Homo-oligomer: A and B are copies of this chain.
Amino acid sequence: MNNKIDTPRIAVFAGSFDPMTVGHWNILQRALPLFDKIIVAVGINTEKHCCQPLDERMAHLNRLFSNTERIEVASYSGLTVDFCHEHGARYLLRGVRNMADFEYERNIADINRTVAPDIETVILFAEPQYAAISSTMVRELMTFGKEVQDFIV
C-alpha cells in the first residue's frame, strides 16, 4: 500500500497532569496507534494552585513514558497552539468525559481554529469507567487522606 502520507502525524496531549490519571493514560494508549508521535505537554500555569511541583511531575512523566518509543514529555508556557507549531504537531488530542467537557473543548477548538487554522483537534470519548475521574477529584481525595492508587498512574 503506497498511498500512505509522508508527513509524520504528531499530536500534542496537553494538561497540568497534577496528577496524571488513569483516564489520561487510557486516552494516550488508545490514541497511540493513530499518531506517529504524541507529545505529553505539561502546561506551566503560574496562577493554578498545584499540588506537585513541576519538576517532580516532569520526572514522574519521563519515567512513565521512558519505554514508550513514540511518546515524548515536555513542558510549556504560552498558548498550546504555539507549542504545537514549534514542535511540528498538527493535532491536539483531547479526551471528552461529559457535556461540560464537550462544550469547553468545542469552544477552545473553535478559537484555536481561528488563531491556528492548521491545527486540528481530535477527540476521543473517555471510557465510561474513567469518565468521573479528574485530577481535581484525585487531589481532593488525597487532601482527605484517601487512597488514590486506583485513579492515577
Contact = CB atoms under 8 A, between A and B. Distances in A.
A133 B113 CA distance: 12
Interface string A48-72: 0000000000000000000001100
B125 A110 contact: yes
Number of copies: 6
How many A residues are at the interface, by size bracket? 35 or more
B100 A100 contact: yes
Contacts of A150: 114
Contact of A36 (B3, B69, B137): B3
Contact of A107 (B98, B108, B113): B98
Contacts of A110: 125, 127-128, 131-132
Nearest to A98: B103
A102 interface: yes
Contacts of A70: 3, 5
A75 interface: no
Rank and list the top 7 A-B pairs by shortest CB-CB distance, nearest first.
A110-B132, A128-B128, A123-B123, A107-B132, A79-B144, A4-B36, A102-B102
